[in-house]
C-alpha cells in the first residue's frame, strides 16, 4: 500500500510552469497595490486635474530608504490648472498639509476675494506659533474716515437709563453752626473777622467830591457864572451828602445861592433816599426841609429829585436829569434837563404857582483824565406862566440863552 502511494506522488511532481492551466477558471493576475500618491493622483485625474505621468515615481537615490511620507512626490504636481470648483464633496479635514511647500506658489489676486465668506472658515483652530506677534502700535489710523459712519439707525430705546435713587440727606447734614468757621475758631473770634471783611469790601467810609458844573456863561445883557457842586462822606448804605448851587452876573450880587446838608440811606441798588435841610444864601432868608431821592434811572439817567418845605410854608420841588452819551472813551456828550415847580405863588421870589421854569442844556466835554474834563455847551432857560409875568415886571427877559464854557472835576 505504501508503495502505491509513493508511486502516485512521484507522478504528480511535475513543475508548475509545465502544467496546462488553460482549462482552469483562474482569476486575472492582480496588479501591485497602489501607493497613497497614486491614489491621490487618480483622485485628481477624476476631477479633471492634469497630473503628469511619473509624478509618483520614487525619487530616492540608490542606497537611500524611501520616505514613509504618503505625500512625497507631490512637489512636482501642478495645481495651477486644477479646477477646484468640482471639489465640493472633498473632505480636507484629515489631510496633513504641513509638509507642502507654498513658497513657489504664484501671488494670489486679492481682487477675487471680495465676495469670499470668511464667517464659515474655522480660523479659531489655526496655530500661529511660528509667527511673531503683530505690532499694532505702528498702525496709522489717522487716515480712517469715520464721517461715513451712520449712527442714526442705532436704537437707544433699549438702553437702561435707570435714574439714580434719591435719598434723604445724612442726619449730620446741617447740624453744625450757621458759619462753619465758628466751630473751629469760635463765634467771638470770627465775629470780629467778619466785621473787618465787611469793612474792607464795601463797608468802609469814603469821601467823594464833584464839581459837576463850574462854568462861564456868555449871554445877552451881561455874562454870568454858575456853580453846582456836591459830595458825600460815608459807606454804601448811609452817607452824609452836601450840595451847593448858585448863579449870578459878573459885577453883581448872586441871583441865587443855596447849600444843603442831607442824610442819605440806600433803599435799593440804584437809589438813595435823602432827607435834610436847605439854606438859601440870597434873597429873603428861608430855610427848607428837604426830602428826595437820588440815583440812576433806567437807561443810565442820573436823577436828582427833591421837595422843599420852607419855614414860610412854601412848598416847591425840583427835578434834574442828565445822561452821559460817550462818543469815544474820552469824548462825552451830556444832555441835561431841569424843571422847577411850586405849589403856590411866591411874589417876593418871582415864582408863580405850577410850572415855574425849565432849563435844557447840551454840553460836550473831553476827559483828559477821568477826574478832569473841560466842556463847552449851550443852555436855554424859560420862565413859564406867572413866573414869566414876574420876570417882565422886573424888567427881565423870561427866555435866556447861555453859551457856556466850564470844567467838570471830581476827587
Identify the band that residue 10 occupies on the pLDDT scale cut at 50, 70 and 90.
Answer: very low
Element (H, E) at 6: helix 2-12
CA 116/CA 174 separation, integer angstroms? 70
User: Is residue 404 within 8 Å of 377, Cβ to Cβ?
Assistant: yes
What average pLDDT score do residues 168-193 get?
Answer: 84
Per DSSP, the three-state class of 26 is coil
Model confidence over 190-222: pLDDT tens digits?
999 998 888 888 778 899 999 999 999 999 988
Lowest mean pLDDT among 17-31, 47-61, 282-296: 17-31
Residue-level pLDDT at 140:
59
Element (H, E) at 166: none
Higher pLDDT, 258 or 137: 258
CA 373/CA 210 separation, integer angstroms? 12
Does the pLDDT of residue 307 top 60, yes or no? yes
Question: Interior CA angle at 408 toward 407 and 411, to 5°?
Answer: 130
Higher pLDDT, 224 or 120: 224
Residue-level pLDDT at 68:
44
Lowest mean pLDDT among 39-48, 76-85, 283-292, 388-397: 76-85
Which among 284, 214, 230, 277 has a CA at the least distance from the CA of 256?
Answer: 284
Strand segments, DSSP code E, in 328-398 are 331-342, 354-366, 372-383
26-44 in b/e form (b: 16+ CB < 10 A) is: eeeeeeeeeeebeebbeeb
Element (H, E) at 291: strand 287-297
Structure letter (DSSP) for residue 299: G
What average pLDDT score do residues 157-185 get?
Answer: 79
Q: In this prediction, what percent of the chain has a pLDDT beyond 90?
A: 48
Q: What is each CA distance from 125 to 8, 93, 94, 288, in whole angstroms?
A: 72, 12, 14, 109
CA 407/CA 211 separation, integer angstroms? 8
Q: What is the dihedral of CA 347, 350, 353, 359, to 10 degrees?
A: -170
Residue-level pLDDT at 293:
99
Q: What cell was used for 344?
A: 403856590
Q: Computed over its alpha carbons, how large is the radius of gyration of the chain?
A: 61
Residue-level pLDDT at 24:
44
Strand segments, DSSP code E, in 152-223 are 206-218
Identify the band that residue 111 occupies on the pLDDT scale cut at 50, 70 and 90.
Answer: very low
What average pLDDT score do residues 381-395 get?
Answer: 95
Per DSSP, the three-state class of 146 is coil
Does the pLDDT of residue 75 top 80, yes or no? no
What average pLDDT score do residues 339-368 get?
Answer: 97
Query: What's the pTM value of the predicted model, to 2 decimals?
Result: 0.56
Q: Which residue has the cell 504664484?
A: 106
Go through the domains of the chain in sequence order and give each one's CATH number: 207-410 (2.40.160.40)
Which among 84, 394, 51 has a CA at the least distance from the CA of 255?
Answer: 394
Question: Between the ranges 34-38, 83-87, 194-198, where is the mean pLDDT highest?
Answer: 194-198
Amino acid at each position: 500500500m505504501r508503495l502505491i502511494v509513493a508511486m502516485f506522488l512521484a507522478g504528480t511532481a511535475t513543475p508548475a510552469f509545465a502544467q496546462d492551466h488553460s482549462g482552469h477558471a483562474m482569476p486575472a493576475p492582480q496588479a501591485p497595490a497602489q501607493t497613497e500618491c497614486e491614489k491621490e493622483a487618480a483622485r485628481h485625474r477624476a476631477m479633471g486635474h492634469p497630473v503628469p505621468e511619473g509624478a509618483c515615481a520614487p525619487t530616492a537615490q540608490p542606497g537611500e530608504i524611501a520616505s514613509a511620507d504618503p505625500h512625497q512626490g507631490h512637489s512636482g504636481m501642478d495645481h495651477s490648472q486644477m479646477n477646484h470648483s468640482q471639489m465640493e464633496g472633498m473632505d480636507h479635514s484629515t489631510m496633513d498639509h504641513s509638509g507642502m511647500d507654498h513658497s513657489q506658489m504664484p501671488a494670489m489676486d486679492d481682487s477675487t476675494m471680495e465676495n469670499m465668506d470668511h464667517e464659515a472658515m474655522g480660523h479659531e483652530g489655526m496655530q500661529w506659533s511660528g509667527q511673531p506677534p503683530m505690532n499694532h502700535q505702528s498702525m496709522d489710523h489717522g487716515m480712517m474716515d469715520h464721517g461715513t459712519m451712520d449712527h442714526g439707525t442705532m436704537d437707544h430705546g433699549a438702553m437702561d437709563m435707570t435714574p439714580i435713587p434719591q435719598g434723604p440727606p445724612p442726619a449730620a447734614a446741617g447740624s453744625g453752626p450757621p458759619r462753619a468757621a465758628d466751630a473751629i475758631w469760635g463765634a467771638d473770634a470770627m465775629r470780629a473777622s467778619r466785621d473787618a471783611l465787611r469793612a474792607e469790601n464795601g463797608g468802609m467810609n469814603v469821601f467823594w467830591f464833584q464839581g459837576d458844573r463850574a462854568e462861564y456863561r456868555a449871554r445877552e445883557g451881561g455874562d454870568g457864572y454858575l456853580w453846582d457842586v456836591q459830595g458825600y462822606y460815608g459807606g454804601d448804605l448811609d452817607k452824609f451828602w452836601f450840595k451847593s448851587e448858585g448863579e449870578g452876573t459878573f459885577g453883581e450880587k448872586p441871583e441865587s445861592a443855596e447849600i444843603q446838608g442831607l442824610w442819605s440811606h440806600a433803599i435799593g441798588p440804584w437809589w438813595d433816599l435823602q432827607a435834610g435841610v436847605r439854606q438859601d444864601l440870597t434873597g429873603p432868608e428861608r430855610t427848607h426841609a428837604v426830602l428826595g431821592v437820588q440815583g440812576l434811572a433806567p437807561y443810565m439817567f442820573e436823577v436828582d429829585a427833591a421837595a422843599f418845605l420852607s419855614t414860610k410854608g412854601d412848598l416847591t420841588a425840583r427835578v434834574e436829569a442828565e445822561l452821559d452819551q460817550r462818543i469815544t472813551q474820552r469824548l462825552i456828550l451830556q444832555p441835561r434837563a431841569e424843571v422847577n415847580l411850586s405849589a403856590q405863588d411866591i411874589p417876593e421870589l418871582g415864582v408863580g404857582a405850577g410850572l415855574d421854569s425849565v432849563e435844557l442844556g447840551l454840553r460836550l466835554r473831553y476827559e483828559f483824565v477821568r477826574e478832569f474834563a473841560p466842556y463847552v455847551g449851550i443852555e436855554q432857560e424859560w420862565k413859564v406862566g406867572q413866573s414869566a409875568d414876574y420876570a417882565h415886571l422886573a424888567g427881565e427877559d423870561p427866555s435866556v440863552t447861555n453859551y457856556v464854557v466850564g470844567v467838570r472835576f471830581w476827587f
